[in-house]
Structure 1
Amino acid sequence: MRKYLSSLLLLILALSLVACGPGPASKDPDNDQPGDGSTDTPEEVSVEEQTLIDQDGIVIKATRLDSSWLGPELKVYIENNTDKAFTVQTRNSSVNGFMLEPVFSCDVMPGKKATGAITFAADDLEACGIDTITDLEFSFYIFNADSWNVILESDIIHVKTSAANSHKQVYNSAGVILFDTEDITIVYQGMSEDPLGLAANLYIENNSNEGITLEAMNTSVNGFMIEPAFICDVMPGKRALDTLLFYLDELDACGIEKITEIELNFHIINLETWDTIIDTEKIKIEVD
């Protein structure tokens, strides 16, 4: 759930700026100017200019990896050679194998061009221990700006940086194992405070060949039934850091000042078909 709240906050902040600018006079993507933000890319790396989509009158190119006050951003150049206005967004995004939701939405009118930036929050990268970006993965979701009808859902796109062959990401999976199979691992990594409440931190690893969605079911805190804010998508071969967020007003209503015990079941389904993969047995988390 943390990634959704973080993305919502970032989106609100980003909307106060220019999320997607008009296209350059020339078709040369290099006319896109670097951002002047003060936040550096975790370690200076670069990407080669490359075409990501060239289909049905839609062209999207990655031009470079830049930095902004929010965090690193992949600059993109978009052409709309169709007769309909469309909106371009990203789905199923990851950085160095961690599921991270960027800020990105770009409207392009028929026959026009635009430049935009797929921005990843510096705080999210730091939480995942990412100090050098080696690879970005995401899919494009393109829909009619007026009717919202889907125009194109791309396959997963891979963008490698100049550090792809020289840096290896380290994954911190330390903690209390809540659920562990050959395909899926869930680890409890302690509690943290959130402006909205108290959060149980989870590390989730998906080693299966299908995307999964995790939900919390039948959840209780200190013996009181309280449903947390939690839903987590993890693509095949990826990892995620997320939280079971318990809102302060619900905790206060139950007279809970400190969480000592959490009980729940995880409901795990296929991300695409919604078919149930497994409903775990009751899991108890003892909070120090």
Structure 2
Amino acid sequence: MKKRNLAVVLLATTLLVGCGTTNNGEAQDVQIETQTSQESGATATETPKEESTEKEINKVLYDNNGIKAVFTSFNQNGAYGPEIKLQLENTTEKNITVQVREVSINGYMMDPIFSEEVGTGKKANGSINFFESDLEENGIEQVNSIELSLHIFESDSYDTIDDSETIKIVINDVEETKKEVTGQILLDKDGLKVTYKDMVVDGDGEVSLKVFVENGLDTEATIQVRDCSVNGFMIDPICSIDVEPGKKANDKIGFMSWDLEEQGLEGVAFETVEFTLHVFNDNGTIMDVPATINLK
């Protein structure tokens, strides 16, 4: 089922906050008037105070099934990078765990750290932590928007309680500029595009072929690599890239040093990499596309 979007517009004159559900279970948007950073009584000659990087928000993102998630603050410069603080409340009779899924910043897929357990009848404060290195990899200097869904399950049985609809949090209401990506196009079909950018060899001998994925399909897609060979030798790289519809991802096809050593490829220059891009979702295979990267 295609998820609906809840818009949460923050740090602006008007906020849109997904706040619970209507009686028929449909999500509703609630407009809340807030004040801009300059107080209404301040004059143009007053010197504005330097703002903290942490913004207090205190808006409800989810309130259903006896479980509430409140977005309490956002910090652009958290311990590892940008940080979203949540307060969770569990009024059910079961211990629960809350995680995040399908997360993106400014339209680029991310993999933050967040898993918070809340006992029955209890509350808990937690932080969704993003890595600054992931933002740098995607050329993101300022967080403008964040999209995510909440995955909630019983801690003891691991049974799913709910997967929320997509929650969109707008930090800075600006239009994103499209960034040009150069490289070899490996796949360009039905709105799905995969581009090979460059190769990186780290100090441990691991080889990474960096790729950029744009998902213009109307469904989520996972891209994996099958039937791969390097210079004619079969090898199994690490590659599984999840991209939501309308989103982008910078990722890699990774070759581990011990696999390269086993095939006699350790320290050997890559000349030709051949493989099949296997694209699928929960409903099955979307497409299988052969690809070749010539590095001579």
Match for residue 229 of structure 2 among 212, 220, 223:
220
Aligned equivalents of 2:127 and 2:180: distance in 1?
29
In our comparison, the structure showing a higher alpha carbon Rg is: 2
> How big is the shift at 1:182?
3.6
Identity between Structure 1 and Structure 2 (%)? 34
Corresponding position of 1:248: 257
Aligned amino acid, residue 272 of structure 2: E
Matched, 1:193 2:204: no
Aligned equivalents of 1:213 and 1:286: distance in 2?
24
2:235–2:263 contact (8 Å) kept in structure 1: no
Aligned amino acid, residue 69 of structure 1: A
Aligned equivalents of 2:108 and 2:120: distance in 1?
35
User: What residue ranges of structure 2 are gaps of 5+ in the alignment?
Assistant: 1-51
Aligned equivalents of 2:295 and 2:128: distance in 1?
37
Distance change in 2, residues 1:205/1:136 (3 Å): same
Matched, 1:148 2:164: no
Corresponding position of 1:32: none
Aligned equivalents of 2:288 and 2:136: distance in 1?
32
> How big is the shift at 1:227?
1.1
Corresponding position of 1:174: 182
For CA contacts below 8 A with separation 6 or more, give which structure has more relative contact order: 1
Distance change in 2, residues 1:215/1:208 (3 Å): same
The TM-score with structure 1 as length reference comes to 0.80
Distance change in 2, residues 1:106/1:214 (3 Å): same
Corresponding position of 1:211: 220
Match for residue 79 of structure 1 among 89, 93, 104:
89
2:192–2:216 contact (8 Å) kept in structure 1: yes
2:224–2:279 contact (8 Å) kept in structure 1: yes
Aligned amino acid, residue 110 of structure 1: T
> How big is the shift at 1:254?
1.9
Aligned amino acid, residue 238 of structure 1: K
> How big is the shift at 1:129?
0.3
Aligned equivalents of 1:143 and 1:232: distance in 2?
24
Corresponding position of 1:262: 273
User: What residue ranges of structure 1 are gaps of 5+ in the alignment?
Assistant: 1-42
Aligned amino acid, residue 234 of structure 1: V
Match for residue 136 of structure 1 among 111, 130, 146:
146
Corresponding position of 1:3: none
Match for residue 287 of structure 1 among 282, 290, 295:
295
Aligned equivalents of 2:262 and 2:113: distance in 1?
35
1:45–1:132 contact (8 Å) kept in structure 2: no
RMSD: 1.7
Aligned amino acid, residue 158 of structure 1: K
Distance change in 2, residues 1:184/1:261 (3 Å): same
Tell me which protein shows more strand as a share of its residues: 2
2:207–2:256 contact (8 Å) kept in structure 1: yes
Aligned equivalents of 1:119 and 1:175: distance in 2?
31
Distance change in 2, residues 1:56/1:238 (3 Å): same
Matched, 1:68 2:78: yes
1:188–1:201 contact (8 Å) kept in structure 2: yes
Instruction: Output one character per residue of 1:137-187: Cα deviation in whole Å (capped at 9) or x when no partner.
Output: 1111111111111111111111110x222x534434211111112410000
2:54–2:73 contact (8 Å) kept in structure 1: no
**Aligned pairs, number:** 241
Match for residue 55 of structure 1 among 43, 47, 64:
64
Distance change in 2, residues 1:196/1:85 (3 Å): farther
Aligned amino acid, residue 83 of structure 1: E
Instruction: Output one character per residue of 1:197-247: Cα deviation in whole Å (capped at 9) or x when no partner.
Output: 101000000011100011111100111000100111100000011110001
1:143–1:151 contact (8 Å) kept in structure 2: yes
Distance change in 2, residues 1:181/1:45 (3 Å): farther
